[in-house]
């Protein structure tokens, strides 16, 4: 099917402008002719419609958007009787959180905390309804008027009552390297605590102007996340309180068992920072020691070299039995 131009009509919608194009779809601003309401129209590219897995992703995003009803989650309108595959969604006047961070570097403490609170509240709602986003990042957070937050792009979200999707690309399986949890790096599907970890990364970036784990390529970033603790955020921004730093540490625990168990727990701490225990004690400890890039590489290569020996030992043991 051909692409749409300004002024074209698609069922009950008039195309007003092209907003963005990605590798899988095109986003348009449009007008719902029945009411005059401004909406967003997302149309998958033909190759996406032809790929069963990618089409399933698109359909899952649509289903979740239609079923969820929360001010912090983008709403998708019903799709009966359409002439082609597309999604009609609420239009959000604003910008991506990524654009906000590019413009400002880091955000004031109160503003960053307000945005984190709204994301945590939206996650709490999603998790209670069986949805895990799994690709939470500044590119998937819209900031509207008065800094109102909307979570978008549920293409690789996991829903409790949905079948498991199999992806052929690493990025589709894991999310974005800078923001995925250690358990996702290790190949696990992730659960609500994985979203909490991603929120911790976003909050850290809003407060300090940088992500806690960096490297020359995605695999180095992911390896750093599995082996190391983040640089204490108060070293990067002394305006961060010990209590707020403690919230970050609890969200960014490598072991999900030690992380916030629910988004509601993180939400409670953010709104009751004066009651957070252990923050002053942790703030006075010696800075976290991080492995040097060379040490990280040696550890990574040592693990790879050890795998054949472990397998050989296991086969030898089984043969003896």
CA-CA distance, 41 to 33, in Å (whole number)? 13
Helix (H) or strand (E) holding 18: strand 13-21
Q: Is 229 a catalytic residue?
A: no
**Which backbone phi and psi does 96 adopt, to 5 degrees?**
-75, 150
Q: Which among 42, 17, 48 has a CA at the least distance from the CA of 30?
A: 17
Cβ atoms of residues 75 and 63 within 8 Å: no
Which of 5, 56, 110, 135 does the annotation list as catalytic?
135
Q: Both tokens of residue 85? A: 């595959």
- The edge-to-edge listing of strands for the beta sheet with 25-32 is 9-10, 13-21, 25-32, 37-44, 87-90
316: which residues sit within 8 A by CB, 6+ positions away?
A: none
Q: Which among 234, 182, 165, 226 has a CA at the least distance from the CA of 204?
A: 234
CA-CA distance, 190 to 297, in Å (whole number)? 26
CA-CA distance, 6 to 14, in Å (whole number)? 8
Cβ atoms of residues 115 and 38 within 8 Å: no
**Which backbone phi and psi does 65 adopt, to 5 degrees?**
-65, -30
Looking at the DSSP bridge assignments, the partners of residue 32 are 13, 37
Burial label, 97 (beta-carbon count in 10 A; 0-12, 13-18, 19+) = buried
Q: Both tokens of residue 163? A: 């079948």
Residues marked as catalytic: 135
């Amino acid at each position: 099917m051909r692409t749409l131009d300004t002024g074209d009509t698609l069922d009950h919608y008039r195309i007003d402008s092209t907003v963005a194009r990605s590798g899988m779809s095109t986003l348009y601003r449009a007008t719902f002719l029945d009411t005059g309401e401004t909406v967003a129209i997302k149309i998958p590219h033909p190759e996406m419609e032809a790929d069963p897995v990618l089409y399933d992703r698109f359909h899952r995003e649509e289903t979740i958007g239609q079923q969820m009803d929360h001010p912090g989650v983008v709403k998708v309108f019903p799709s009966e009787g359409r002439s082609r595959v597309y999604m009609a969604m609420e239009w959000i006047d604003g910008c991506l959180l990524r654009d906000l961070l590019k413009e400002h570097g880091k955000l004031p403490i109160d503003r960053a905390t307000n945005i984190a609170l709204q994301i945590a509240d939206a996650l709490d709602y999603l998790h209670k309804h069986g949805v895990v986003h799994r690709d939470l990042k500044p590119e998937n957070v819209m900031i509207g008027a008065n800094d109102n937050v909307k979570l978008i792009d549920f293409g690789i979200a996991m829903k409790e009552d949905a079948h498991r999707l199999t992806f052929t690309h690493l990025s589709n399986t894991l999310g974005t390297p800078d923001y995925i949890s250690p358990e996702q790096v290790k190949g696990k599907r992730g659960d609500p605590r994985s979203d909490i970890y991603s929120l911790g990364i976003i909050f850290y970036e809003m407060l300090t102007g940088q992500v806690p784990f960096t490297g020359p390529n995605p695999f180095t970033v992911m390896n750093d996340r599995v082996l190391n603790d983040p640089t204490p955020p108060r070293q990067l921004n002394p305006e961060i309180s010990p209590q707020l730093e403690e919230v970050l540490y609890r969200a960014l625990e490598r072991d999900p068992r030690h992380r916030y168990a629910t988004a509601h727990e993180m939400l409670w701490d953010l709104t009751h920072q004066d009651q957070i225990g252990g923050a002053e004690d942790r703030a006075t400890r010696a800075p976290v020691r991080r492995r040097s890039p060379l040490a990280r590489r040696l550890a990574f290569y040592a693990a790879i070299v050890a795998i054949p020996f472990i397998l050989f030992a296991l086969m030898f043991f089984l043969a003896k039995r």
